[in-house]
Amino acid sequence: MDITRRKFIKSAAMQSAVASAAVLFPGITFGAWKNVASGGIEWKKTPCRFCGTGCSLLVGVSGDRAVAVKGDPNCSVNKGLCCVKGYHSVQILYGKDRVTKALVRKNGKMVETPLKEALDLVASKMQETIKSHGKDAVAMYGSGQWSITDGYVSSKLFKGCIGTNNLEANARVCMASAVTGFLTSFGLDEPMGCYDDIDQADVFITWGNNMAEMHPVLFSRMLANRKSKSHVKIIDLATRTTRSSQAADKSIIFNPQTDLALANSICYEIIRNDWVNWDFVKKHVSFHKGKTNIGYGTQDHFKFKDKAETVDFEAYKAFLADYTPEKVEKLSGVPAKDIKYLAALYGDPDKKVTSYWCMGMNQHTRGTWINNLVYNCHLLVGKISTPGNSPFSLTGQPSACGTVREVGTLTHKLPKGVVMKEGARKLAAKIWDVPVENIDPKPTYHTVEMFRALDRGDIRFMWIQVTNPMVTMPNLNRYRNGAKKDGRFLVVSEIYPTPTYDVADVVLPSALWIEREGFFGNSERRTQHNEQIVPMPGDCMSNTWQIIEVARRMGFEKQFPWPPETYIEDIWNEYIQFHDNPKHRMAPYKELQEKSGLQWPYVNGLETKWRYNAKYDPAAEGDSFDFYGKPDRRAWIWLRPYEPAAESPDSEYPFWLNTGRVLEHWHTGSMTRRVPVLHRAVPEAYVEINPDDADRMGITNGAKVKISSRRGSVTMKANINGRGRPPQGMVFVPFFDESYLINEVTLDAFCPISKQADYKKCAVKLERV
């Protein structure tokens, strides 16, 4: 029994597995893996590294290696189940091309450099840039995958110490419309409900959200609810047929962008049939309208500010007259009877309704509006803030909520409040121990504009952590060319080589999530702690500690005093002072250490499952609902019209291009592609084409197709009748594959309110190659 034989069995088994199921080997117990020396396993809890669901994992540790994963049965999110990415997540630690040393570009070549020297260079380059070009010439671009402490120290360094608001995170292009949707409708960010709604609801309506692939653990919880109660229905509203449509009781396909009209039409029907919950509406809702014809932000220096005007119910009713099901059928392609059916589900007083959405509604040039409009559907019938009744905005990253939204790592934000408000600046200056004058009251650049500023030369130095913008920026050609221009200095904190790493001047090796202590915050206001479970390889360092090292080199020792043994706990204790009120109190460190996540507001040792309802929420006054986020203590219904997409198909570019993810890969695939089983399942990206379109154009499955827009083109294999099926006139491309950069084709138009780019709609043409 030698190693050669083992290797043979491994490779042969792989090949046989691809070909057929029935290949025989002698009954010898070999695994498809190398064995660690010790046989014992110790299980340690951590949130999953991938999506925003926030499953808790138990990682099996043997010696200093992570060797296995199982679902954490103590966590109410996933109740012991994971998805295929979660089960294999710890394999991302062990890719052989892991970045473990600092690299510095010297004479055009990346050279391995002692970490201390690389950190010295980052600090001195930043100081130099500030001296020669001003403080607003340096920027940091972070991520919803940042641990909470990473985001907190970057805000303290950039906003508090350096004094620039040049701090953004990729969550801007992922979640910003959800945030502005919450703020405009309720005055406070993040959902009122929680995942317990999944076990309580009678009807699920998913808006442009392929949960079977993107939030699989929540989706299977929905299926389990449906299985246990025969009346439960899942309705999939989408622009393309997916696994979620197939599992749903009804799949409704609408034309891109017409979700705006559809939501208004549902409300029209609710009012026409008098399904309005008048008691709720009279006590807890007010009506408002904002500006219209608000533009698309495709020009540099685009500015927009909405202005709210209070109106009454009659004005709202008159506004909806344009959205009869019959009119909307023509626009959306959804039969009027299906619109009436949806309205009847929302309107039925005996049915508890939960709506889910994620990127389909957020990556939308009217993202804020469509968020408002789906809230309208719930508010008219009073189906909100009670178990099973929940308009629920899902997140795509493990700490988009925890780090970006709660810490406020966006240009206009502070950990509590916005930079424009004096009170918020004073509180931050006090907790941070900096002069209040340090904090600039004017926001600078949102993400797209920040990369435009880098291209223009207004920004000269950018530090990028835990994200891969050279794959994910829309209209990528412009921003990559900009980043490569002379006189730009890019620092990239990474774990693997990526296209962003390729354009870096300094690469800092980062520790992965379980190689350090940290916190994530998931979609349902749950904060989750993990301890350091395995050692970090080589010179790897947590992103938090990298920032602390640079801050100290820049002379901010006083603001970054924490010792390496306890810095995560110390930062947590400083950070939660910002949220020390019943509307947002965070759980103490010790309890987070023990529990598989705790939901805020965490008041008197209790989690808050449903906000704005006095029965569950300690911040709510009175004995029923209290939407305390708004000055009138009401939830706001908005009059938001349908407006077309920034770019629609025409005779030259006749197809819609839609982009997104697949189950197996997460974001740009820099982690999941290094997991053997995930890469082998989906080794490369492809373009999904409707079978009739393919037939008409003579495109066969696997044939090469060139997809071009006014901005760029990419050639890739056609996928017909694959996992997803776009309707005629649309193609879909997953964005995980750096060999096929579909974002060279997409458009950098964004929602003028949230500044979130629309990755789901632009016009392209197809050619057979």
Partner 1 sequence: MEKPEHKVDQKVGKVFLIFAGICIVALPLIVFSAFSSEPQEMEMGTTVAETRDMDFDDNGKAIFENYDRISKDYLEGTSTGRTLSEYYSRRQFAGSPPFIPHKVKEPDLARVECLACHARGGWTQELKINTPITPHPEQVACRQCHISMTEAKLFAENDWMSVAPPRLGRASLPGAPPPVPHELQMRGNCIACHVGPGTVAAIRVEHPSRGNCRQCHVPLTNAQPFSRKRNTIN
User: Which of the residues 191 through 230 are near partner 1 (CB under 8 A)?
Assistant: 212, 216-217, 219-220, 223-224, 227
Question: Interface with partner 1 includes 683 (CB under 8 A)?
Answer: yes
- Residue whose structure tokens are 């221009």: 485
- Residue whose structure tokens are 């492809």: 686
Q: How many CB atoms lie within 10 A of CB 229?
A: 11
Does the annotation mark 554 as catalytic?
Answer: no
Q: Which of 126, 175, 192, 211 is catalytic?
A: 175
Options 436, 614, 681, 697; binder of partner 1; rule CB under 8 A: 681
Q: Which of 174, 473, 671, 716 is catalytic?
A: 174
User: Among residues 205, 186, 211, 309, which one has the least CA distance to residue 259?
Assistant: 205
Options 676, 691, 710, 729; binder of partner 1; rule CB under 8 A: 676
| Element containing residue 252 per DSSP (H, E) | strand 250-253
Q: Which is nearer to partner 1, 573 or 721 (CB)?
A: 721
CA distance 272 to 295: 32
8 A C-beta contact, residue 760 and residue 364: yes
Q: Please, what is the minimum distance in Å from the beta carbon of residue 403 to partner 1?
A: 26
Q: Which stretch binds partner 1 (CB under 8 A): 90-98, 148-156, 366-374, 432-440?
A: 90-98
Q: Which is nearer to partner 1, 348 or 684 (CB)?
A: 684
Options 595, 611, 673, 711; binder of partner 1; rule CB under 8 A: 673
* Strands 250-253 and 233-238, sheet pairing: parallel
Q: Please, what is the minimum distance in Å from the beta carbon of residue 735 to partner 1?
A: 16
Q: Which is nearer to partner 1, 44 or 65 (CB)?
A: 65
Does the annotation mark 528 as catalytic?
Answer: no
Does the annotation mark 359 as catalytic?
Answer: yes
Q: Please, what is the minimum distance in Å from the beta carbon of residue 68 to partner 1?
A: 4
DSSP 8-state symbol, 445? -
Which residues, including other chains, have CB under 8 Å from residue 556's CB and lie 6 or more apart?
157, 161
Residues 23-82 that bind partner 1 (CB under 8 A): 23-41, 60, 62, 65, 67-71, 73, 80-82
Q: 295-324 in b/e burial notation, b at 16+ Cβ within 10 A?
A: bbbeeeebeeeeeeeebebeebeebbeebb
Does the annotation mark 555 as catalytic?
Answer: no
Residues 547-606 that bind partner 1 (CB under 8 A): none
Angle at 261 between CA 260 and CA 265, to 5 degrees: 125
Residues 236-255 that bind partner 1 (CB under 8 A): 241, 243-244, 246-247
Tokens linked to 331: 């626009």
Q: Please, what is the minimum distance in Å from the beta carbon of residue 57 to partner 1?
A: 12
- What amino acid is encoded at 330 in this protein? K
Q: Please, what is the minimum distance in Å from the beta carbon of residue 10 to partner 1?
A: 7
Residues 693-722 that bind partner 1 (CB under 8 A): 721-722
**Number of residues engaging partner 1 in binding (CB under 8 A):** 87
Options 84, 315, 344, 703; binder of partner 1; rule CB under 8 A: 84
Options 201, 374, 508, 675; binder of partner 1; rule CB under 8 A: 675
- Going from the C-alpha of 119 to that of each of 134, 295, 367, 459, 535, the distances in angstroms are 21, 42, 39, 20, 21
Residues 719-758 that bind partner 1 (CB under 8 A): 721-725
Does the annotation mark 595 as catalytic?
Answer: no
Options 9, 123, 431, 697; binder of partner 1; rule CB under 8 A: 9
DSSP 8-state symbol, 593? H
Q: Which is nearer to partner 1, 12 or 606 (CB)?
A: 12
CA distance 654 to 652: 6
Q: 271-288 in b/e burial notation, b at 16+ Cβ within 10 A?
A: bbeebbbeebbeebbbbb
Q: Which is nearer to partner 1, 181 or 724 (CB)?
A: 724
Q: Which of 45, 85, 159, 416 is catalytic?
A: 85
Q: Please, what is the minimum distance in Å from the beta carbon of residue 16 to partner 1?
A: 8
Q: Please, what is the minimum distance in Å from the beta carbon of residue 723 to partner 1?
A: 5
Angle at 80 between CA 77 and CA 85, to 5 degrees: 85
Q: Which is nearer to partner 1, 82 or 361 (CB)?
A: 82
8 A C-beta contact, residue 70 and residue 48: no
Q: Please, what is the minimum distance in Å from the beta carbon of residue 595 to partner 1?
A: 19
Exposure of 472 by Cβ count < 10 A (0-12 exposed, 13-18 middle, 19+ buried)? buried
Residues 476-515 that bind partner 1 (CB under 8 A): 496
Question: Interface with partner 1 includes 664 (CB under 8 A)?
Answer: yes
Residues 96-125 that bind partner 1 (CB under 8 A): 96-97
Q: Which is nearer to partner 1, 92 or 453 (CB)?
A: 92
8 A C-beta contact, residue 597 and residue 526: yes
CA distance 712 to 118: 35
Does the annotation mark 396 as catalytic?
Answer: yes
8 A C-beta contact, residue 389 and residue 378: yes
Tokens linked to 7: 């290797």
Tokens linked to 585: 């109190």
What residues act catalytically?
85, 174-175, 359, 396-397
